Structure 1
Amino acid sequence: MFLLINQRIKFLLVVLAAILSVSVTAWSQAPAFDAKKLLVSWEVNENNYQNKAQFLSTIILNNGAPQALPTSGWKIYFNYNRSIISGSVRGAVTLQHLNGDLFQITPKADFKRMSSGAIARISFVTTGAALNITDAPSGFYLVWDKSPNQGLALSPVKVKVPTATKPSTVPGSPAITLINPEALYQQNKPTPDIAAEKLPKIFPTPANYRETEASFALTADIPIITATDYYPEAEMLAEDLAAIFGKKTEFKNTGSGKAIRLVKKEDLAPEAYDLRVTSQEIVINASTPAGMFYGMQSLKTLLPANAWELRPKSVTIPGVEVSDYPRFDHRAVMLDVARNFQSKKQVLKLLDLMALYKLNVLHFHFNDDEGWRVEIVPLPELTEIGGKRAHTLDSRNNLPPSYGSGPIANNLPGSGYYTRSDFIQILKYARDRNIKVIPEIETPGHARAAIKAMDIRYSRLMAAGKKEDAERYLLRDLNDKSEYQSVQNWNDNVINVALPSVYNFLEKVVDEVRDMYQEAGAPLQTIHFGGDEVPTGVWVKSPVVQKLLQEDERFTSVDDMWYYYFRKVNEILKIRNLYLSGWEEVAMRKTEIEGQKHYIPNPDFVNENIHVDVWNNTLGGGSEDLAYRLANAGYKVILSNVTNQYFDMAYNSTFEEPGFYWGSFVDVDKPFYFIPYNYYKNTKKDKFGNPLPKSVFAGKERLTDFGKNNIVGIQGLLWAETIITPERMEYMILPKLLGLAERAWSPDPDWAVEKDTVKSEALYQQAWARFANILGKRELPRLDYYSGGYQYRLPPVGAVVQNGQVSANIQLPGLTIRYTTDGTDPTFRSRIYREPITETGTVKLRAVSRTGRGGKVVTLENK
């Protein structure tokens, strides 16, 4: 009996083992879940949700994979540059903020298995408003609990564009809008189409310019005659002409007959030049290589815009007499490569663009919370860790994904850095084009990449028993329990300024940067040390800070650590014959007025030759006059106004237009109509286009004559949170950079100083019309092919149905408009719009470049 039972038990165990074996084999051989086919979309459900400054939106997961997504055992991560309101999440998941812009989705117990074709919706409420596609979350990836170190990228997010404008339910609040061709037509209507031959032939507008009846026929065989002082410039001009003629022009120091002559003229200012074109010669006079270089750039803009496209054997250059010099010595572009990286090739291309339009400073923002992009050889962790983003929860091997960079290491634009050799090449390239590169070592906030890199260095050396070496460059107090959150939602991104090791680190980096400049033969006069957006709460629970406060009777609070830090940084630079540059906060001091904390210009630093980039003139924010207050107080100010000079801001408020808009919307007209010495004058609308009450500037400080002397220049800024490709970089920069170039180089225009409002407006409209036509007819077509071609933004077409016909226009006359009437989108081969369209039905229009790129399509019904 017992024997029979035992035999049955053994039999059952064998059968069970076989079943388990088959099951395990089947499970192990089952196809893996295809994360790429888990489709992600996002839609805005309601702005002003519950009549508050917040919006409701939804992430939709659609399982397009043949396998099911199980009920548990996974997490999904994504980036989102907003703050989700706690407790607002709807759906069978938890949604947790981790750090920075990284969030985590975890299925709850009631999450249902997602079979193929199933959909899951995750709704939540976010502060503020959602007005364009940049507000969407991005960079979704899946991590299985069993493989916690491996991230699998999901499909790119598809943003659901509203089908119609959504008016706001709260008066005066922002609302979602779409491209309105009729409204664009009315906006473009006041800009006349000016014949090309009536436009000035040099851009930016010279100080003194006259056209003559003469013209010069230029070929590759016409030599460049130059003083030996200008051989490097002659070499560059010869290469520029070779890009047109296919043959390098000869240059020498003597010769007769027809020629381009580069002549040294001692009495001209350092960046000034004279240019004369006759039927027999082209003469450029200058006292310095910089002046000669700018004369050469003006000569290049005299060339036909299509010369780089057609590669002619000869080009006709109109006769001119020009005497020219810049308005500002500091004509800058700030490029952020920390948030998203741009290749060395793309940086060189930007330098070509800047050089053509006589911009002479590249402010190079190479480190921030999300990346460190320049190799510092003695501190390899800075780029080994700080130059790489990928899935991580501890930042031990790399930084976490940000701005949609995804889970995989070494992928652009999240990962990347310039080797020492790369950076030296960039410096040499800029040097040859008379562009100074100002490196920015962003501190003490926005420093997470450096902090985490030095943490890894510390751990490595401690494990090797090298405590002294480990602590030499440590950037945080290991016992600091302070709690804070930065504007970008980081809770561990501020250097502890009480640590002596911080200054060891800064001196090492500064010296390594100086060495690279010296090897490149490039000028280095200043280093920018950032100084912006240090959040409340830092350092208050740091033992080393508290010890320092107790030891030095000059200190009364943690706030004093700010001034302590920049005094020490300033000394580091002064010893090396450099001056300190920073963001506006470097020049500010916190004080109390009637019990309330206020910021005032810091009297302690005013005589230290500190240069500050002042960005904050946010309308209605209370700091509209900050740039003028600091200049009047004695600080050297670079106008970097968010309302007019932030190139990362969206062009307009339509939902399809990418870019941020927290400070303003910035189209090409914003930098063009900026008045450096009185930007109140033509600031008439808020960022959403509503009339701005005059009270905004009531009581605001005006720029004094003393202060005017402290405005050293203007800067356009490209922050890179949304700049995920080279094409997007060029789209956001161009054509805005041309407005910056005009205002930075050219004399103060008549309309800016005219006191009569009506006359001023009329003069402005004339100036805008010339500028818009120059861009549309000459400069943007030139950039289709110059330096390999630039992907500038093509504005949407304005169009309206009138008397049974479709009439069209465009913001920049001269750009080609193409159209279709068969329902297809216009292409390079579609008909060119030359007169009102009489065909009925659906009419589609778009601007198309000479290279075949198309702008956004607009559609009308001609019934």
Structure 2
Amino acid sequence: MKRLFLLLLTTATLFANAQQTQLIQKISIEWQLKQNDYPKSDQFSASFVLKNNAKSPISLQDWDLFFSYPREIVSVTSKNAISKAHGGEFRQISFVDGKATLAAGQTLTINYVAKGKSMNVTDAPSGLYWVAKRNPKINIAVGSFKISFAKKHEEELTKQAAEVAFSKNKNATVLPAKQLVKILPKPVSYQENEGLFSLSATTKLVFDSVFVQEAALFNQELSTLLGKTVIEAATAQTNYIQLKLVQGLPNENYQLSVTKNRVLISASSNSGIFYGLQSLKMLMPPTAWAKKQQQISIQTVEVKDAPRFGYRSFMLDVARNFQNKAQILKLIDLLALYKINTFHFHLNDDEGWRIEIKDLPELTQVGGRRGHTLDDANYLKPAYGSGADTLAAPGSGYYTRKDFVEILKYAKQRHITVIPELETPGHARAAIKAMDNRYRKLMQEGKPEEARQYLLRDTLDQSVYRSVQGYNDNVMNIALPSTYNFISKVVDEMVEMYRLAGATLKTVHLGGDEVPKGVWEKSPAIAKLMQQEQIATYDDLWYHYIGKVNKLLKSKELQMAGWEEIAMRKIYSPEGKVSYIANPDFVNENFQVYVWNNVWGGGNDDLSYRLANAGYNVVLSAVTNYYFDLAYQNDAAEPGLYWGGYVDTDKAFYFSPFDYYKTATEDAKGKPLQLSFFKDKVRLTDKGKQNIVGIQSQLWSEKVNGAKAMEYILLPKLLGYAERAWAQEPNWSLASDSAKSWSQYLVDWSGFANLLGQRELKRLTYYAGGFQFRVPPPGVVLASGKIQANTQFPGITIKYTTDGSEPTLNSKTYIKAFEPIGNVKLKAFIGIVGSRTINIKK
């Protein structure tokens, strides 16, 4: 009888749970921005509106709502719910008993106030899911979720963005195709001639033996264009492509000569030949990659080319949101096409560890997975909208050793150096939680010494701190020998993977940024270290750490790289005010320092130049121009962050590395900047100029959810960066007269903008399987009773409707200004790829 009772009870419970689960799936949620600067400045009001679409009532107090949210909720102003924060962006809403039962068809509104502002779709909550209070193993993704803004906010931003775009778009004039330099980045010299070279399957490929790898890779690419490889031959008299070794050209330089009968690429290095081949591909019609070709016509030209910077790098963060191996290989193809020679691979952070390390499986089992948890014991809690599913990308995922070796080989074939970044000691939460898991398991097995071997935190530490991202448990303890055991182990495994790939690891980026105040101050291990090493202040602990990890890397014949903090020293004025100088202790240690912080008006506008002048090897990584996760423009519908300003393709293009004040046009809020703003800032000296290693663009992935989102926010910005990293310093950057400089810039920008609109974006529609790049929406103004529209890149087509319907390729083509009739919608197209729609109501 007892067994029967338990069986009946279990069956009833399962039935009730199933019924509740079915009901909760019927709840739709809309998030609404109500008002910015309410109830006071730098706060805003917003709401969740929940609707029961089922035919039965549901008690929401039986469930908790979890989600990711980039804003801190100050208070829930309605009386039906309470909120709770769980570190980082992880949030919870619980419902008040008796005030959250929803009848069929009924809605429930949760009003709240939060810190900051809410400007665009990226500021909204994401990754919403329900968790049953009685059984936390039951979690259900919210099926229907809508984001909406206050109508006035959305319409004002859209109108303003369209008007600003219209004004900026005037900077590019339409050019005939004949006037375009058809290679990007722009070569040192380019002369177009009459006639075409005809490439087909009967074309011969002739090459000196030293270029066998480049020839094989190019022939493999030709097979995708022509359906089969061309014939490799020792000599040829006509219709051939020759890769020729010559003496005297610097590394990466090349010469390209195309006549009606032959293509000749000359270089003194393998990389030079490779880049000559990339330029040859650019001379092919953009649609050549759309389908198999019988024959490809190539413009006859004479080209001589050399890079401005030897270090041209792109950084991708795969820790916050993962990109799979296939997407990384596709990205490497893109970097190679535009002559970017370094891939900075950000492999770990607070929210993810993305590479398999032999003997430390917890790093990927725990640190490589996110899902619903409140203790991070077996995997990490959700972040950036990753939700409850522990198997779902992009929250979960990692590269096996085999994957990583394949990526390294693929990059090496394309003359791209991969620099791994292992974030230490801050931004290390994923690693810390993984090693905690290892520690607990080994302690339970009675192996305390082994358990402590790679432990990353002092178990007795009572320090209180909060990182920029809202964590209080994300910094390695630098007093523990086990921390250095861990770093050494991971680096040794990386060295081994490079060896297996036939590559050599020379530089390791150890992060070093954003260690919060208060960390380590109540750690017994730290207190002991300070006493033993006679370390006077907590600030001095930082220099102790940097010195120690530098020695660790040097013992392995590796160069130390890191963010700007590794080269900075904190100083105090007599009044106690904090400022930073170039740390003299490490100037001669050959650090490679990536300086991102030049937010205009933030106090570090000139930091790059100060560090370079002091003798550090500086990679310019300016947030103002090269943080590609920042939104293209200030529009509610435009995804991306904006704390460092807005970054469109033109900002990446007009960056002036040796005098970036000159091209600083607007502050972080998009307001105009005057050059007088920089009159007291440090300038780059001739000696400092020699210490500028190169420039790097970055894509942090907090809000980049998947391959489509990555390609949208990356392209076409990356093309502006590629131009500035390779092409010679433009005349407009050198001119001292501002009017002359502006005039020269407009000529240069028009050429670049036309090249993108008429050729390059069309190529990227098909190249490497095709990229989902951003087509810039039309610039639009309503003036003198008529709608006027234009495009950022000449060659883009604008389509429009006047009945409120969505424009398609079959809609009317915008040719000249017209009087608005009804609800006008405009949309830009490159081929079949369309922009966001601009809605103009009369």
* Residue 409 (structure 1) aligned with residue 409 (structure 2): no
Assess, with a 3 A threshold, how the Cα gap between structure 1 residues 32 and 310 changes in structure 2: closer, same or farther. Answer: closer
Q: How does 1:171-190 map to 2 (within 5 A)?
A: 176-178=157-159, 181-190=162-171
Q: What letter corresponds to residue 291 of structure 1 in structure 2?
A: G
Mapping 1:324-723, distance limit 5 Å? 324-553=305-534, 555-594=535-574, 595-694=576-675, 696-723=677-704
Residue 691 of structure 1: CA displacement? 2.1
2:87 aligned with 1:107: no
Matching residue's letter, 1:591 = I
**SS where residue 798 of structure 2 aligns?**
strand
Distance 1:46 1:601, change over 3 A: same
- Single out whichever of 529-538 and 137-146 deviates more from structure 2: 137-146
Q: 1:828 to 1:367 in 2, by over 3 A?
A: same
Which residue is 2:837 aligned to? 857
State how far apart, in whole Å, the 1-side matches of 2:220 and 2:10 are.
Answer: 73
List per-residue Cα deviations over 1:643-694 (Å, max 9, x = no partner): 1000000000011100000001000001101000000012132123222254
**Structure 2 unmatched ranges of 5 or more:** 1-5
**Residue 37 (structure 1) aligned with residue 37 (structure 2):** no
Equivalent position amino acid for 1:56 in 2: S
Which string of whole-angstrom CA distances, capped at 9 and with x for unpartnered residues, describes residues 610-638 of structure 1? 01111101111110000001101111111
The CA deviation at 1:824 is 1.8
Cα–Cα, structure 1 residues 25 and 223, in superposed 2: closer, same or farther, change >3 Å? closer
Name the structure 1 match of 2:220.
Answer: 239
Match of 1:279 among 260, 263, 269: 260
Deviation at 1:510, TM superposition (A): 0.3
1:6 aligns with none
Q: 1: CA distance between counterparts of 2:492 and 2:372?
A: 33
Q: Match of 2:758, as an amino acid?
A: K
Q: Residues 854 and 588 (structure 1 numbering): CA distance in 2 closer, same or farther, change over 3 Å? A: same
Secondary structure, in 3 states, of the residue corresponding to 2:59? coil
Correspondent of 1:291 among 257, 272, 275: 272
Matches within 5 A, 1:730-749: 730-749=711-730
Q: Is the 8 Å Cα contact of residues 93 and 108 (structure 1) preserved in structure 2?
A: yes
State the match for 1:11 in structure 2: none
Query: How far apart, in 1, do the equivalents of 2:790 and 2:499 lie?
Result: 52
Taking every aligned residue pair, what percent have the same amino acid on both sides?
47
Aligned residue identity for 2:304: S
Q: Aligned pair in 2 of structure 1 residues 657, 266: CA closer, same or farther (>3 Å)?
A: same
Amino acid at match of 2:67: F
Alpha-carbon offset, residue 319 of structure 1? 1.7
Q: Deviations over 1:83-112 (max 9, x none)?
A: 222x45433211111111111112224523
Instruction: Name which of 112, 137, 140 aligns with 1:152.
Output: 140
Structure 1's 416 and 93: CA in aligned 2 closer, same or farther, altered over 3 A? Answer: same
Give 3-state SS (helix, strand or coil) of 2:418's partner. Answer: strand
SS at match of 2:590: coil
- Among 220, 227, 233, the alignment partner of 2:208 is 227
How high is the TM-score relative to the length of structure 2? 0.96
CA distance in 2, matches of 1:544, 1:43: 48
> Quick check: 2:252–2:307 contact (8 Å CA) kept in 1?
yes
CA distance in 2, matches of 1:681, 1:402: 39
Give the aligned partner of residue 823 of structure 1: 804
Cα distance between partner residues in 2 of 1:684 and 1:20: 70
Q: Conserved in 2, the CA contact under 8 Å of 1:150 and 1:391?
A: no
1:20-169, aligned counterparts within 5 Å? Answer: 27=16, 30=19, 32-70=21-59, 72-85=61-74, 87=75, 89-155=77-143, 157-165=145-153
RMSD of aligned residue pairs (Cα, Å): 2.2
Residue 739 (structure 2) aligned to one of 758, 773, 783: 758
Matched with 2:3 is: none
Q: Give the deviation of 1:834 after TM superposition.
A: 4.2
TM-score by length of 1: 0.93
Partner secondary structure for residue 764 of structure 1: helix
Q: CA deviation at 1:135?
A: 0.5
8 Å contact 1:89–1:95 — kept in the other structure? no
Alignment partners' CA distance in 2, 1:386 and 1:730: 26
Could you give the per-residue CA deviations for residues 386-412 of structure 1, whole angstroms, max 9, x where no partner exists?
110000011111100000100011101
Deviation at 1:755, TM superposition (A): 0.2
Q: Is the 8 Å Cα contact of residues 363 and 440 (structure 1) preserved in structure 2?
A: yes
How many positions carry a matched residue from both structures?
Answer: 835
- Listed one character per residue, the Cα deviations across residues 407-456 of structure 1 (whole Å, up to 9, x for unaligned) are 01110110000110001111011000000000000010000000000000
- Structure with greater Cα Rg: 1
Q: Distance in 2 between matches of 1:651 and 1:235?
A: 39
**Residue identity matched to 1:547:** K
Matched position secondary structure for 1:50: coil
Q: Specify whether residues 28 and 84 from structure 1 end up closer, same or farther in structure 2 by C-alpha distance, changes over 3 A only.
A: closer
| Structure 1 equivalent of residue 707 of structure 2 | 726
Cα offset for 1:36? Answer: 3.2
Amino acid at match of 1:568: K
Residue 451 of structure 1: SS of its match in structure 2? helix
Deviation, structure 1 residue 220: 2.1
User: Which amino acid counterpart does residue 383 of structure 2 have in structure 1?
Assistant: S
SS in structure 2 of the partner of residue 72 of structure 1: helix
**Which residues in structure 2 correspond to 1:244-323 (within 5 Å)?**
244-323=225-304
CA–CA separation in structure 2 for the residues paired with 1:538 and 1:416: 30
Q: Given the superposition, is the C-alpha separation of residues 551 and 88 from structure 1 closer, same or farther in structure 2, using an over 3 Å criterion?
A: same
Return 422-431 or 836-845, whichever deviates more.
836-845
Residue 182 of structure 1: how far off its partner (Å): 4.6
Offset from partner CA, 1:160-182 (integer Å, 9 cap, x none): 03433479xxxxxxx85556545
- 2:172 pairs, out of 191, 205, 213, with 191
